[in-house]
A = this chain, B = another copy of it.
Amino acid sequence: MAKPTALSGFPEFLPAERFVEQQVIASLAQTFELHGFANLETRAVEPMDQLLAKGETSKEVYVLKRLQDSGDGDSGMGLHFDLTVPFARFILENSGKLDFPFRRYQIQKVWRGERPQAGRFREFTQADIDVVGRDTLGFHHDVEVARVMAEALGGLEFLPGFRIQVNNRKLIQGFYAGLGAGDPMKVMRLVDKLDKLPVAKVGELLQSDAGLSAEQAEQTLALAQISASDTSFVEAVRALGVTHELLDEGLIELAAVIEGCSSITDDRIRVVADLSIARGLDYYTGTVFETRLDGYESLGSICSGGRYDSLATDGRTTYPGVGISFGVSRALVPLIQQGVVRADRSVPSAVLVALTNDEGRTQAEAIAQQLRAGGTPTEVAPKADKFGKQIAYADKRGIPYVLFVTENGPEIKDIRSGEQFPIAPATWAPPPADLRPTIVSTASQENK
């Protein structure tokens, strides 16, 4: 076939780039498991009626069709566009076999059947954590998911700093209701446009579209401008003079999340109350989260979520949950494409065993196997080329060591320093820092 070209919206990585993604996923998984989250993987497809239940994304679904479809039941399936809808379905399907509260993490690809256009992913990876209860779920889990995700993102050392912005639906809905707004949801959706439209424009829309008075619109915008890294936001909201029972509840909950995250000491991580955050999707009922990456604000929120008190229900039992989803591809693809992060090798190998001649392959393989048994990724040269060419083979791939079988036995050359020394393959291993590829990052310099 002719040389194929990349498909817009379906990012793929070269080996040294994929290594970064692998490490990110392994690091996230490790943090999630330290906090007792069990891994799940759900199938890629869901019935279309499930996928269409949430109106907003219905036009972005990929529908599946068997090539030889004869109308025998496969129609009506589509690829999932997030990990929440499949998880809610999984909970209902397996509720009798799960123990609640149920903590799970899920790191998988999702698909959006978008029109091909620059910057839009049609296939991408998300990493979700959720805690789900049966009938009830303690509020402290809202604090838990925020802390766990902050710790997980903090563990990605090459990431620039980030800001987790927390708000609470009860707080803002209560405020709008206390203000006398006729349609609090409408107000909320207009406030959600603050990161796309100028403040004055949103103020106009609040009057023209949501029927607020000039003073009510002003109060609404004043609320959205409150932001604090401690619980001082409570005073600031009170100072606006609006009262409502739901507002009180929301203030207590939001203060508890901020308070609960105050013991995080990593100075790359800031958890702030930001009263402009609303989240477009309708199902959130309390805490809501968004996250901005320092220096990459144009990416939008890379990590979002919240509390949903009735996402899953089978009519008799309701499963309330709280969760947060990190857009692995959204954060990683730009960093990798801009060359901000990459691995220093294109192969896992730490050692290349050189070949003196073709007859030496059996012995070279035996030595390689001894190194592997000690945990050192090792490959044997493909050909008994001149040693200079074999060293160039290692150098090109970033393999730090070349082993030669000499008259005096096996010797290792560190091709960075040129140093060469005898070793016993059964016991030698490279220093830990050389054992696996390392992620090289310029993010910290560029963004400080």
Taking beta carbons and an 8 Å cutoff, which residues of A are in contact with B?
1-7, 10-15, 18-19, 21-22, 33-45, 47, 50, 53, 58-69, 72-74, 77-79, 89-90, 92-95, 97-99, 101, 103-104, 109, 111, 113-116, 123, 133, 138, 140-141, 263, 313-315, 346-349, 361, 366, 372, 375-379, 382-383, 393, 396-397
Contacts and interface: CB of A to CB of B under 8 A. Distances in A.
15 contacts: A2-B315, A13-B40, A15-B98, A18-B39, A18-B40, A19-B38, A33-B377, A35-B378, A35-B379, A36-B349, A43-B123, A63-B67, A64-B64, A65-B113, A99-B346
A377 B313 contact: no
A44 B12 CA distance: 10
Contact of A348 (B33, B77, B114, B141): B33
B66 A65 contact: no
Contacts of A116: 72-74
Instruction: Give the one of A60, A62, A63, A372 with max B CB within 10 A.
Output: A62
A92 B67 CA distance: 26
Contacts of A349: 36
A116 B349 CA distance: 43
A74 B60 CA distance: 12
A59 B68 contact: yes
B372 A7 contact: no
A230 to B, nearest CB: 17
B62 A103 contact: no
A94 B113 CA distance: 25
Nearest to A105: B348
Nearest to A379: B36
A379 B314 contact: no
A67 B78 contact: yes
